[in-house]
């Protein structure tokens, strides 16, 4: 059935015509109704007939449908599309689908994907993920299928199969690591934990936080390659000593990755004499583990006699960094000295000492005046109170090793330890490294150690963009699962960063995700029945981003 316009003389008529076949099978047409002259139809005189036909077909009338367009809330999809494509390309989708297949009646791999992506796009608690999904579309995931209990069950399943998860990740990351030589960086950070309850085998303990103060926390160790790729993480109790974590972590990495030669780089907080003996015993195949470890500043005094000749020689340079090499207990002792930095450190220390001595002189003068019977406005001083006040000021200035306050004396006294002051000046502007790398010049060894700052940036990403802390979970397995989710987010972040860096892109991963996030998914309903969906127009900047990271652009059809 169709509408046909016929002409009769100077006039045109609109007719409703039906096609049919006669008894002989010949196609014919017959007029069902004449709607009137075309001028009348255009003017609206035939609306009543058209409305009747629409109602008979079960559709809204002209008045009901005219101008009625319903828009569903727009959903961000570009960032989750990009992360989904990267997740699949790295093999995570297939690997975790096999690992998380269980008796639960939900897709745990997709829920894990949601939790990892949320850490990168809009870090929230597990309950907050549901709010995030109200404005976000994750490809292949129905928001209605995600609930709080299923997210927790997924975390439990993840923790129960922790060893299998580590093995799977190792298999996925192994091709990305140089098997001939891998420079690996290890560092440890503290993660603040909430809650006051105690659990069996609790990981949350009070300890000294990296940010300062004593808080309830857990500790997270991360191993990263020189290229910036995190390859292993370990969760420790919050009161674990840093130096005890290094050897067992490196042993696990050596067991998982068949690297022919490893150079370990670690920060000064992880070095102790016991550690050094244990590290010396580690083997990579039939070769000893090579390492570059920073000497803690508190141990610099052990090298006074070794460093004095080097110091006298290096101070002749105005501003250039000077490198030297000494021998200590069979190891290479690498020293880097910055005269300009040394001068600045000495100047700041001397100013602090002078300010403290000026305060002490004022207090001594007031104490002496009080003893002589003079009165002053304000609270009366006491020797004990002055000792406590001065000692706190010295400690806050980190000068207690130089300014010695006699806490046992009945009279306020202190002295400057000149030997300690000279030692501090000797160490200003210096970086001391213990290494057994045989074929690298001192400048290269120092450069490798300074690259450790990159893993520290990774920790900043964990604590800022990914917001790993504070941890609100109390069960040890949930805490470990939370750390793994954040580690996977860091891994995606770093791979994205490597791809941007490889194309010399000025974008950071955060900025890249922000640009992609502007791609939105829209749904429109017309006349209360017809619906349409699609994506916002992809801009040249967004198109260039997907080309840079070598991932496919979003498409409405694939969504």
Per residue in 434-456, pLDDT tens?
Answer: 898 888 899 999 988 887 776 67
Residue 317 has pLDDT above 60, yes or no: no
Mean pLDDT of 425-433: 87
Distance of CA 389 to the CA centre of its chain: 41
**pLDDT band with cut points at 50, 70 and 90 for residue 52:** low
Looking at residue 227, what is its pLDDT?
82
Does 358 map to a domain?
yes
Last residue of a domain, one of 427, 450, 465: 427
Q: What mean pLDDT comes out for the span 203-215?
A: 84
Whether the pLDDT of residue 60 is over 80: the answer is: no
- For the chain, the average pLDDT equals 85
Whether 349 maps to a domain, the answer reads yes
Residue 189, in any domain of the structure: no
pLDDT for residue 89? 95
In this prediction, residues 479-485 reach a mean pLDDT of: 94
Q: Which of 59, 133, 71, 66 is nearest to 533 (CA)?
A: 71
**Cα separation, 10 vs 396, whole angstroms:** 103
Domain endpoint, select from 12, 42, 66: 66
pLDDT of amino acid 439: 81
The pLDDT value given to residue 50: 64
The pLDDT of residue 293 is above 60: yes
* 380 belongs to a structural domain: yes
Domain count of the fold of the chain: 2
Confidence (pLDDT) at 76: 93
| C-alpha closest to that of 121 among 399, 558, 439, 510 | 510
Q: Is residue 255 part of a domain?
A: no
Alpha carbons 156 and 160: distance in angstroms, whole number: 6
**pLDDT score of 518:** 94
| 383: in domain | yes
CA distance 279 to 242: 14
Phi, psi of 470 (to 5 degrees): -80, 155
Backbone torsions φ then ψ of 435, nearest 5 degrees: -145, 155
pLDDT tens-digit series, residues 229-258 = 899 999 999 998 887 888 888 888 888 887
Q: Is residue 60 part of a domain?
A: yes
Report the pLDDT averaged over residues 354-383: 86
Domain that holds residue 369: 340-427
Residue 420 confidence (pLDDT) above 70: yes
106-117: per-residue pLDDT in tens? 889 999 999 999
Tell me the C-alpha distance between 325 and 442, whole Å.
Answer: 7
What's the whole-model pTM score?
Answer: 0.75
Higher pLDDT among residues 314 and 321, named by residue: 321
Average the pLDDT over 93-111 and give the result.
85
* Residue (of 222, 224, 226) closest to 236 by Cα position: 222
What is the reported pLDDT for 120? 92
The mean pLDDT of 321-334, rounded to a whole number, is: 87
Which of 12, 46, 66 is the C-terminal boundary of a domain?
66
Tell me the DSSP string of 468-491: --SB---SHHHHHHHHHHHHHHHH
Judged by average pLDDT, the poorest of 7-21, 146-160, 300-314 is 300-314
pLDDT of 268:
72
Contacts of 186 (CB under 8 A, 6+ apart): 221, 222, 223, 224, 246, 249, 250, 264, 265, 266, 270, 455
pLDDT at 101: 78
pLDDT band with cut points at 50, 70 and 90 for residue 533: confident
Q: Which letter does DSSP use for residue 339 in this model?
A: H
- β-strands 214-225, 205-208 pairing: antiparallel
Q: Provide CB contacts within 8 A for 400, sequence distance 6+.
A: 391, 394
CA distance 264 to 434: 11
Q: pLDDT-based confidence at 297, cuts 50/70/90?
A: low
pLDDT at 9: 76
Q: Tell me: pLDDT of 547 over 90.
A: yes
Query: What's the pLDDT at 136?
Result: 94
**397 occurs within a structural domain:** yes
Position 54 scores a pLDDT of 63
């Amino acid at each position: 059935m169709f509408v046909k316009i016929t002409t009769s003389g100077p006039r045109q008529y609109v007719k409703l015509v039906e096609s049919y076949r006669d008894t002989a099978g010949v196609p014919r047409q017959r007029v069902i109704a004449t709607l009137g002259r075309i001028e009348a139809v255009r003017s609206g005189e035939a609306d009543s007939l058209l409305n009747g036909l629409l109602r008979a077909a079960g559709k809204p009338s002209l008045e009901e449908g005219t101008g009625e367009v319903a828009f569903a809330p727009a959903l961000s999809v570009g960032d989750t599309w990009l992360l989904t494509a990267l997740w699949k390309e790295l093999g995570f989708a297939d690997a975790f689908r096999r690992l998380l297949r269980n008796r639960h009646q939900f897709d745990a791999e997709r829920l894990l994907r949601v939790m990892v992506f949320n850490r990168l796009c809009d870090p929230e608690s597990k309950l907050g993920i549901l709010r995030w999904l109200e404005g976000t579309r994750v490809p292949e995931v129905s928001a209605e299928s995600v609930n709080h209990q299923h997210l927790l069950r997924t975390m439990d399943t993840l923790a129960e199969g922790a060893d299998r998860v580590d093995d799977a990740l190792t298999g996925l990351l192994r091709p990305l690591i140089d098997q001939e030589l891998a420079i690996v960086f290890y560092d440890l950070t503290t993660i603040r934990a909430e809650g006051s309850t105690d659990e069996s085998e609790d990981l949350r303990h009070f300890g000294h936080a990296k940010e300062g103060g004593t808080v309830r926390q857990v500790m997270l160790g991360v191993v990263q390659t020189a290229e910036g790729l995190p390859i292993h993480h370990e969760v420790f109790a919050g009161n674990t000593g840093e130096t005890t974590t290094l050897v067992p972590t490196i042993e696990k990495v050596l067991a998982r990755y068949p690297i022919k030669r490893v150079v370990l780089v670690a920060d000064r907080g992880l070095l102790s004499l016991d550690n050094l003996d244990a590290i010396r015993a580690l083997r990579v195949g039939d070769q000893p583990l090579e390492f570059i470890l920073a000497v803690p500043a508190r141990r610099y005094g052990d090298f006074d006699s070794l460093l004095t000749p080097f110091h006298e020689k290096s101070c002749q340079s105005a501003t250039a960094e000077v490198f030297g090499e000494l021998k200590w207990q069979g190891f290479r002792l690498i020293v880097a000295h910055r005269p300009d930095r040394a001068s600045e450190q000495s100047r700041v220390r001397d100013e602090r000492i002078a300010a403290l001595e000026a305060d002490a002189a004022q207090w001594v003068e007031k104490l002496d005046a009080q003893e002589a019977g003079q009165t002053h406005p304000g609270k009366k001083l006491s020797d004990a109170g002055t000792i406590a006040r001065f000692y706190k000021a010295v400690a806050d200035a980190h000068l207690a090793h130089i300014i010695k306050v006699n806490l046992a004396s009945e009279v306020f006294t202190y002295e400057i330890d000149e030997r300690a002051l000279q030692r501090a000046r000797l160490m200003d502007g210096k970086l001391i490294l213990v290494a057994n790398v045989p074929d690298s010049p001192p400048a290269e060894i120092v450069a490798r150690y300074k690259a450790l700052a990159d893993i520290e940036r990774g920790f900043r990403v964990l604590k800022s963009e990914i917001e790993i802390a504070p941890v609100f979970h109390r069960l040890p397995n949930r805490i470990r699962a939370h750390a793994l989710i954040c580690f996977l987010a860091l891994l995606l972040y770093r791979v994205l960063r490597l791809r941007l860096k490889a194309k010399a892109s000025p974008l950071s991963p955060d900025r890249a995700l922000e640009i992609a996030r502007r791609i939105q998914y829209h749904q429109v309903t017309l006349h209360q029945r017809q619906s349409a969906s699609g994506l916002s127009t992809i801009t040249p900047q967004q198109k260039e981003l997907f080309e840079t990271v070598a991932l496919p652009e979003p498409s409405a059809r694939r969504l």
